[in-house]
Structure 1
Amino acid sequence: MAKTAAGTPTAARKPARTATAPKQPAVTAAGGGPAVTTAPVSGPGVTTPTGDGPTGGGPAVTAAGGSGAAGPAVHGEGPLEVAVSPGVDAADRERLLAGTHHSPHSVLGAHPVPGGVAFRVFRPYALSVTLVTGDLRAELHADGQGFFSGLLPLRDVPAYRLEVAYEGTVQQTDDAYRFLPALGELDLHLIGEGRHEQLWKALGAEPMTHQGVTGTRFAVWAPNARGVRVAGAFNFWDGTGHPMRSLGSSGVWELFVPGVGEGELYKFDITRPDGSHTLRADPMARRTEAPPATSSVVHASHHEWDDAEWMARRADRPAHDAPFSVYEIHLPSWRPGLTYRRLAEQLPSYVRDLGFTHVELMPVAEHPFGGSWGYQVTGFYAPTARLGTPDDFKFLIDALHRAGIGVLMDWVPAHFPRDAWALAEFDGRPLYEHADPLRAAHPDWGTLEFDFGRREVRNFLVANAVYWCEEFHIDGLRVDAVASMLYLDYSREPGQWTPNEHGGRENLDAVAFLQEMNATVYRRAPGVVTVAEESTAWDGVTRATHHRGPSGFGGLGFGLKWNMGWMHDSLQYMSHDPVHRRYHHHEMTFSMAYAYSENYVLPISHDEVVHGKGSLVSKMPGDWWQQRANLRAYLGFMWSHPGKQLLFMGQEFAQGAEWSEAHGPDWWLLDPAYGAEADHRGVRDLVRDLNAVYRATPALWERDVHPDGFEWIVGDAADDNVLAFLRRDASGSPLLAVSHLAPVVRADYRVGVPDDVPAWAEVLNTDAGRYGGSDVVRPDPVKPEPQPWHGRPASIRLTLPPLATVWLRPA
């Protein structure tokens, strides 16, 4: 027997004739649904009912092209069973209208029933719905309130489409409720276990071809919701007709919507436990509207990466044993008005010219309030749309990699804002935040803390860290506000926090989360480094997670940690007038007492040059010449001190004003018309030379985390304001750094040195005239004398420039 395109058996092709089906009794569906409604059907070889069928039945329809002669009915292997009502019963109607149906696919769509196949469609505001399958067309009965139904005497469910008529327009589309779930059992199992390391591929909006039809699969985790619907521009922001199905006990709701593609705006209409509704942005959205708009955007990446060489070699050397000099940037204000793609034209060349090995981007994940600088994130999986699309952001990273520059980004898993369209009480109850209000509310920032003990929340964050590394080729994550996660009593008074199960103040859930995050990132993304902004003496921040320390905790597993103590102490010392520095000498030496307790970064970050703290140069005492000289000397000390370096934008050319996100660095200061040659350009040229010598001198970075890479020559010359030490590389080759932080010239200053170096040559002097200094430099090598000094068998005599740092290497 032949079949039509839709797969329906037909007799051999003959002139179409009108056929009269046997009359079937009207049957009321369970739950009080409408009587049997058989659809008016047109098409060759179809059994159609007569017009005197049940109430609501359509009249007999002449098959397409027919002349009214009778034709054969559809024959099966036996008589049709007693038909049932195809309509949606009252209880299901009520739940669908209220947005509280957990299984709309079990009601809507096509379902084999006694008497044929029942078709049920829910299209609010539609005037009519016609079912189209192959050559067949069947107008469904309007049951009211946007419901349409019909019973076709078919043996199997055909492939079909819907033709929906609205006021002034007709749309033809596939029925979203004829598709199987587009989310696999393994995905659901991993989500339930909190172990889905590529969660963004399972949840969110994923454009795809499913069962041969193109569209977008929407999936969201909302375990407390009574129902979830998709609302977007494609349904005029009324999600009533697009309810999602609940996938078992996973808490995940899913719906494949045919015809919805890239660029569509959407949100989730969530029915809370109390029956009220809330419209929420997708927590997993990979693209968003530009703020202040808040919709999520369906996105698929089309960027083709061109950084294979960089990616292949970035894991050759771990960060703590490699040159690591970081330029911290706030992208929206670096040069205001530039998009990601325009930044890609300017930023790589600028950073490469200055010699930094990496950039660190202040948070780029979407955030509603620009004044937060990105530290109050609502779109954890979406780069901010202020500067372009996710592919535009990839283009920028690609350009940096091709220029030989690594990319770190600030990552903010500690907290999130309370915006009513975002994560706070996402499905009507605390979900991403802790259920205990004392644990949920962050006391400093008016935000909410994540519930690190909930496996799905931990999964959301761990997968997010992996996402930026895998999808955007990010080379490192600087994790913000780690201390606020680690301590239950962080910024809380007695009575405002509850001890952990051992009676301590450590947040055990946060510890476990950070360990899992680090272990997962290092396993999945070779060559990536994680950096902790951690301001306390927590033991083992950069220790491996499987190594336990004296505290009994395993290490947190970070690769590097910001040295906040060094930053605070050294800036405090530099702020004193040189005549008083002798009383604060320990502030420059104390860091070496703990320098090897962790793998450190020395951070002069945005936090130190905002909110009334002044710029870096303005922290220095004295007149303008002395301020710049102090700054140059400080930078020379910083670049030679054990640890990696980080400098915030604008400080590389001694910007006088503190940073403002509204206008960014004062680039005009580099214009020669403003006398910048000796002032600001000189400091910038010093930073360039510091990086050049640093990268070419393994002694300054190869043994950063090993005590044998550092030796004090003189650390107690407080009255002279002098610090001198040796740095050594893995072969023992030394570099001698001498910082003289008094505004006088000291001639014939004797410094002890090893006796195995025949001569020392000056390779960098921050007092050089080209940097704006007094040009007290030594162009010729200096030979050691056999006079022991500072506990060394030999010594050299130097003329120490005022307020300067000098580096010498074996000639």
Structure 2
Amino acid sequence: MALRDTSLPETSGPVRTSGTALVGEERDRLLGGAHHDPHALLGAHPVPGGVLFRALRPNAREVSVLADGVRSPLASEGDGLFSAVLPYPEIPAYELVVAYDDGERTVHDPYRFAPALGELDLHLIREGRHEELWKALGAEPMIHEGVAGTRFTVWAPNAQGVRLAGEFTFWDGTQYPMRSLGAAGVWEVFLPGIGEGAKYKFEITSRYGHRFLKADPMARLTEVPPDTASVVTSSRYAWDDAEWMAHRGDTPVHEAPMSVYEVHLPSWRPGLTYRELAEELPAYVRDLGFTHVELMPVAGHPFSGSWGYQVTSYYAPTPRLGSPDDFKFLVDALHRAGIGVIMDWVPAHFPKDDWALARFDGDPLYEPGDSRRAEHPDWGTYEFDFGRTEVRNFLVANAVYWCEEFHIDGLRVDAVASMLYLDYSRDSGQWAPNVFGGREDLDAVAFLQEMNATVYRRCPGVVTIAEESTAWEGVTRPTDSGGLGFGLKWNMGWMHDSLEYVQKEPVHRKYHHHDMTFSMVYAYSENYVLPISHDEVVHGKQALVSKMPGDWWQRRANHRAYLGFMWAHPGKQLLFMGQEFAQGAEWSEKHGPEWWLLADDYHSAADHRGMRDLVRDLNTVYRDAPALWQRDTDPGGFQWSMCDAADDNVFAFVRYAEDGTPLLAVSNFSPVVREDYRLWAPEQVPAWQEALNTDAVRYGGSGVQAGDAGKLCPEDGRLRLTLPPLATVWLTPAR
């Protein structure tokens, strides 16, 4: 704030104030927040006899123009408007001196600046092809025409007018009306002197005359909920993961080892910030040998007790754990530890909070206008209008944003099935068929194809993963072949069938043998991830170890045998936090994993540590055995050794590496030891040795071994093994 300088001379020439007042409809629209071009009325404009200056400064006592060291007062028009015609031959470089009851401020006039958004940006926005949309819309601190400030832009094509409100206006939008930049539907104003940390919203006047405040859809930082304002920010983070970024795409993900640890950041270690998590999470994940973490939604969401799947701020990491640069610090730390970062991304729906995306400019904008398509019947949310180019652009650019700005290595796309089908969770009469009479949402298909193609083109090494629970054909087929273009797909069928099997008492498992073998009928129809995710250990479904039948020893043995089977099965692996050490309680977002189970003073800590040791060894042997991942999508990389031993509850199969090196996995889901068990194995291997045995004593097992490696090739050409109870054994060629 500049104090009054009484040494400044007043204007020596004539000042005309009569006839300069704004009257009629233009005045009403400007003051009512419904004017499309406030810059035509405010600022400085040549007129006969000089330059007309007009300023809108509510609550000001006086406003003067300061130019060439001369201060010229403007006359009050009432309602915060001040104007005068000053005798300048052309518009000078000037500032405004604004006097309030608490003193004077010398400020730049926002209405003397040309638009800070270029024609190319507007063209790309209108075409729905702006792949760096976050650099064009939202709040961008910048130097514009030599002055520091922030450019504010927002897409609101149905609005009569848009104004900027913030802490700096006491949340009154009157002072800063924005201008429409034409057919693109974008509104803009550059505010000098407003910088990082400023809190703001857009005050929108709808075509129906309603006025309301909306958070910025493109905000890169928000207030901590329950507060809902957007916050001006600019990143200064210096990345230290150049080597990781340069080499993360060296091997296609479906031909590389991939085991994923799924994490809910707010509850993994409750109370830790992004930077504090960076001190613990990378070390923990690296120690256990996982190649990736998958973070449940990080984007801003209003309800702290939720898991993050109802997103209101698509471009802002949740501020509950720190700033955007703090989140970058966490990603960077994971990369330096050699761990890839996958993030859950939620383009299927968004909540109806009245301060966010819902009916953003008074009309359906991000959501469809057709009520049969606008609302998601399962979650009480809105669906995106995938047929609208600007909405598609908002989401495609968002996917790129996380990958480019935050170095995210993968996007797991939530609820893809609900996007693909017009009749998803809808009864007859609640949906309308597509132009071909079908139930497929063609707009959603086009969006997913565009998103995947754009991400893969712009972000080498990134993988997209679909949570898709139906038999939609071509989810992981390239877009140029008519597929959706995802890199991987969650294998929900395998998850459901295998859990159905292991939850049965062993005596009943022979009647459900097909649940464990059926997945190989379609295992190569897509590129799969085998998910034991958060969804399977909440809401009465029980934690993984608690799903298992029997006493505590048997439940743990079943758990170990199941993980051994899972890690050997074609496909990548995903395990939710807490399941790696067999916590018995369901996951709670309030409390997170039950780390106390591993404490020295807990009487059964050894049981839980043994399970964690197994997961570490599964990952270690897995990464060192190309047979388990190199040909995940090649049918020639798998061969059943025994698939019909239903009465024995036994499964055995061979995985092959590119060079033909085999690994034999044998699972005995019966609680009895099977002596001298015979099964087929590749003839070219004369002898085998244990690479991993989930019944090892150090994991909490009984210590039964499969047999001496030198005796595993008897005269009849079949292997004879001792199968431990409720265990999986991996065998490799003896050296």
TM-score, structure 1 normalization: 0.89
Task: Provide the C-alpha distance between the structure 2 equivalents of 1:196 and 1:157, rounded to a whole number of angstroms.
Answer: 35
**Selected match of 2:607 from 669, 672, 679:** 679
2:3 is matched with: none
2:566 is matched with: 638
2:630 is matched with: 702
2:247 is matched with: 313
Q: Is the 8 A contact 2:341 2:409 kept in 1?
A: yes
Q: Is the 8 A contact 1:43 1:135 kept in 2?
A: yes
- Where do 1:650-799 residues align within 5 Å? 650-778=578-706, 780-785=708-713, 787-788=715-716, 794-799=717-722
2:731 is matched with: 808
1:595 is matched with: 523
Q: Which amino acid aligns with 1:809?
A: T
- The Cα of 1:780 is off from its aligned counterpart by 4.0
Instruction: Please say if 1:623 is aligned against 2:551.
Output: yes
Q: Is the 8 A contact 2:59 2:80 kept in 1?
A: yes
2:409 is matched with: 475
SS in 1 for 2:709: coil
- The Cα of 1:784 is off from its aligned counterpart by 4.1
Q: Is the 8 A contact 1:42 1:138 kept in 2?
A: no
Change (3 A) 1:630 1:115: same
* Root-mean-square deviation over aligned CA pairs: 1.3
Q: Is the 8 A contact 2:706 2:724 kept in 1?
A: no
Task: Provide the C-alpha distance between the structure 1 equivalents of 2:106 and 2:77, rounded to a whole number of angstroms.
Answer: 20
1:231 is matched with: 165
Task: Provide the C-alpha distance between the structure 2 equivalents of 1:230 and 1:652, rounded to a whole number of angstroms.
Answer: 49
Task: Provide the C-alpha distance between the structure 1 equivalents of 2:552 and 2:175, rounded to a whole number of angstroms.
Answer: 69
Instruction: Please say if 1:156 is aligned against 2:90.
Output: yes
SS in 1 for 2:319: coil
Task: Provide the C-alpha distance between the structure 1 equivalents of 2:536 and 2:715, rounded to a whole number of angstroms.
Answer: 44
1:647 is matched with: 575
- The Cα of 1:43 is off from its aligned counterpart by 6.3
| Unpaired runs of at least 5, structure 1 | 1-40, 58-84, 548-553, 789-793
- The Cα of 1:782 is off from its aligned counterpart by 3.8
Task: Provide the C-alpha distance between the structure 2 equivalents of 1:721 and 1:233, rounded to a whole number of angstroms.
Answer: 67
Q: Which amino acid aligns with 2:731?
A: L
**Selected match of 2:38 from 96, 99, 104:** 104
- Where do 1:61-76 residues align within 5 Å? none
SS in 2 for 1:674: coil
SS in 1 for 2:689: strand
Instruction: Please say if 1:457 is aligned against 2:367.
Output: no
Task: Provide the C-alpha distance between the structure 2 equivalents of 1:219 and 1:711, rounded to a whole number of angstroms.
Answer: 58
1:379 is matched with: 313
SS in 2 for 1:149: strand
Q: Deviations over 1:393-426 (max 9, x none)?
A: 0000000000000000000000000000001100
- Where do 1:505-544 residues align within 5 Å? 505-544=439-478
**Selected match of 1:570 from 488, 491, 498:** 498
- The Cα of 1:86 is off from its aligned counterpart by 3.6
- The Cα of 1:786 is off from its aligned counterpart by 5.2
- The Cα of 1:785 is off from its aligned counterpart by 3.0
- The Cα of 1:193 is off from its aligned counterpart by 0.2
1:288 is matched with: 222
SS in 2 for 1:416: coil
- The Cα of 1:44 is off from its aligned counterpart by 7.1
Task: Provide the C-alpha distance between the structure 2 equivalents of 1:622 and 1:715, rounded to a whole number of angstroms.
Answer: 25
SS in 2 for 1:229: strand
Q: Is the 8 A contact 1:247 1:254 kept in 2?
A: yes
Task: Provide the C-alpha distance between the structure 1 equivalents of 2:511 and 2:708, rounded to a whole number of angstroms.
Answer: 35
- The Cα of 1:677 is off from its aligned counterpart by 4.3
Task: Provide the C-alpha distance between the structure 2 equivalents of 1:285 and 1:134, rounded to a whole number of angstroms.
Answer: 38
- The Cα of 1:319 is off from its aligned counterpart by 0.8
Task: Provide the C-alpha distance between the structure 2 equivalents of 1:787 and 1:675, rounded to a whole number of angstroms.
Answer: 48
Q: Deviations over 1:521-563 (max 9, x none)?
A: 000000000000000000000000111xxxxxx1000000000
- The Cα of 1:225 is off from its aligned counterpart by 0.3
Task: Provide the C-alpha distance between the structure 1 equivalents of 2:196 and 2:24, rounded to a whole number of angstroms.
Answer: 36
- The Cα of 1:676 is off from its aligned counterpart by 3.6
- The Cα of 1:371 is off from its aligned counterpart by 3.1
- Where do 1:114-193 residues align within 5 Å? 114-193=48-127
1:402 is matched with: 336
Change (3 A) 1:45 1:677: closer
2:260 is matched with: 326
2:13 is matched with: 48
Task: Provide the C-alpha distance between the structure 1 equivalents of 2:345 and 2:97, rounded to a whole number of angstroms.
Answer: 47
Q: Deviations over 1:41-90 (max 9, x none)?
A: 996796512xxx86x57xxxxxxxxxxxxxxxxxxxxxxxxxxx443233
Larger Rg: 1
Q: Which amino acid aligns with 1:48?
A: G
TM-score, structure 2 normalization: 0.98
- The Cα of 1:675 is off from its aligned counterpart by 2.7
Change (3 A) 1:525 1:625: same
Q: Is the 8 A contact 1:782 1:796 kept in 2?
A: no
Task: Provide the C-alpha distance between the structure 2 equivalents of 1:673 and 1:494, rounded to a whole number of angstroms.
Answer: 59
Q: Is the 8 A contact 1:216 1:259 kept in 2?
A: yes
**Selected match of 2:135 from 197, 201, 207:** 201
- Where do 1:338-353 residues align within 5 Å? 338-353=272-287
Instruction: Please say if 1:276 is aligned against 2:210.
Output: yes
- Where do 1:408-419 residues align within 5 Å? 408-419=342-353
Task: Provide the C-alpha distance between the structure 1 equivalents of 2:710 and 2:313, rounded to a whole number of angstroms.
Answer: 59
Q: Is the 8 A contact 1:753 1:784 kept in 2?
A: no
Q: Deviations over 1:643-666 (max 9, x none)?
A: 000000000000000001010000
Instruction: Please say if 1:584 is aligned against 2:506.
Output: no
SS in 2 for 1:386: helix
1:222 is matched with: 156
- Where do 1:346-365 residues align within 5 Å? 346-365=280-299
Q: Which amino acid aligns with 1:650?
A: G
Q: Is the 8 A contact 2:11 2:72 kept in 1?
A: no
SS in 1 for 2:588: coil
**After the TM superposition, which of the residue ranges 770-779 and 726-735 deviates more from structure 2?**
770-779
SS in 1 for 2:472: coil
Task: Provide the C-alpha distance between the structure 2 equivalents of 1:169 and 1:379, rounded to a whole number of angstroms.
Answer: 38
SS in 2 for 1:249: coil
SS in 1 for 2:585: coil
Q: Which amino acid aligns with 1:560?
A: L
Change (3 A) 1:619 1:764: same
Q: Which amino acid aligns with 1:379?
A: S
- The Cα of 1:170 is off from its aligned counterpart by 1.6
- The Cα of 1:777 is off from its aligned counterpart by 2.0
Q: Deviations over 1:325-378 (max 9, x none)?
A: 000000000010000000000000000000000000000000001233000000
Instruction: Please say if 1:434 is aligned against 2:380.
Output: no
Task: Provide the C-alpha distance between the structure 2 equivalents of 1:344 and 1:88, rounded to a whole number of angstroms.
Answer: 58
